[in-house]
Amino acid sequence: MTLKKRLASGKPVVGSWITLAHPSIAEILARAGFSWIGIDLEHSVITIREAEELIRVVDLCGVAPLVRLTSNDADQIKRVMDAGARGIIVPMVNSAADAERAVAAVRYPPDGRRGVALARAQGYGAGFEAYRKWLKSDAVVIAMIEHVDGVANVEAILAVDGIDGCFIGPYDLSASLGLPGKTRDARVQAAMRQVKRAADKLGKPAGLHVVEPDPAMLKRRLREGYRFVAYSLDTRMIDVAARQALSAVSAAPR
Ligand code: 3PY
Ligand code: MG
């Protein structure tokens, strides 16, 4: 089942983030069993050229590569989709108009405004027709709700045709409330609950990031009903595993 259909079916999907631009990291994570791998262009130094390499590896491993954009930028959307991303995660979607803009940048006319070319996604030309069909039925667009304006408009955002779900960004959300980094503050938590309630009401998946590779926290979030979950990221998994691996000999001389 494609990622889009799985999201629509109400089944939870668990992915993870790549922030380091090495194809081996993409290969290791893609083979670990995640349903999607998000290549994070927003908070990393991954270039567009490196993004293509990571997309290719994840894709060839049979996992859906998604790209979190640096911003809601139609030109960047075109390039990462042409490189073969199966969908996008769009930062700072604050209104239905923002959501419509992102969807239009993914779709070809007459449904959208994306330019047409023959790149990796289209099989370098040999697979254009198959890609056109796939794009209509299976491209994924996830709206990040990470500003008070996005919270206020969350129902209208999720109601946009082509928006498959939302992903809460607690850090930017806390900043938009004048509380940067205070993600446990009651006002941030209330805003997060409001997003989750809206997603449940509209029958679209709500997502968030379980930052630490902590299976108990992952289970808790899934139990709470979050269905588009990003589970940790490359750097935290390496850091935590390295420290755990050494913990038995922490007194050893360096
Ligand atoms: C945020 O918390 O703002 C994020 O973007 C998390 O990914
Ligand atoms: Mg953010």
pLDDT at 254: 58
Mean pLDDT in residue range 198-225: 97
Query: pLDDT digit string (tens) for 14-26?
Result: 999 999 999 999 9
Give every CB contact of residue 130 below 8 A, 6+ residues apart in sequence.
123
pLDDT at 10: 93
pLDDT at 248: 83
Q: Look at domain 3-251 and name its CATH class.
A: alpha beta
Residue among 74, 75, 73, 68 at smallest CA distance from 54: 68
pLDDT at 251: 59
Which residue has the CA at smallest separation from atom 1 of ligand 1?
Answer: 169
**How far is it, in rounded angstroms, from Cα 118 to Cα 144?**
29
Ligand 1: nearest atom to the Cα of 146: 3
Q: Which of 18, 172, 185 to mutate to test the pocket of ligand 1 (most atoms within 8 A of CB)?
A: 172
- For residue 61, give both structure tokens: 């491993």
Reply yes or no on whether 147 is catalytic.
Answer: no
Mean pLDDT in residue range 221-245: 97
Residue among 101, 74, 207, 85 at smallest CA distance from 145: 207
pLDDT at 249: 85
Mean pLDDT in residue range 150-177: 97
Separation of 126 CA from ligand 2 center, angstroms?
37
Q: Is the pLDDT of residue 121 over 60?
A: yes
Give every CB contact of residue 98 below 8 A, 6+ residues apart in sequence.
72, 90, 92, 143, 157
Separation of 94 CA from ligand 2 center, angstroms?
12
Query: pLDDT digit string (tens) for 28-70?
Result: 999 999 999 999 999 999 999 999 999 999 999 999 999 999 9
Q: What is the per-residue DSSP string for 100-114?
A: HHHHHHHSPTTT---
Which residue has the CA at smallest separation from atom 6 of ligand 1?
Answer: 169
In this prediction, what percent of the chain has a pLDDT beyond 90?
Answer: 97
Contact assessment for residue 95 and residue 83, using Cβ atoms and an 8 Å cutoff: no
Cα 109 from chain centroid (whole Å): 25
Q: Is the pLDDT of residue 166 over 80?
A: yes
Mean pLDDT in residue range 186-194: 98
Contact assessment for residue 253 and residue 246, using Cβ atoms and an 8 Å cutoff: no
Locate the domains of the chain by residue range: 3-251
Q: Is the pLDDT of residue 211 over 80?
A: yes
Give every CB contact of residue 7 below 8 A, 6+ residues apart in sequence.
13, 140, 164, 165, 205, 227, 228
Taking each helix axis from N to C terminus, what angle separates 48-60 and 23-31, rounded to the nearest 10 degrees? 30
Q: Which ligand is nearest to the CA of 211?
A: 1
pLDDT band at 88, cuts 50/70/90?
very high
- For residue 247, give both structure tokens: 């913990």
- For residue 120, give both structure tokens: 């990796």
Which residue has the CA at smallest separation from atom 4 of ligand 1?
Answer: 169
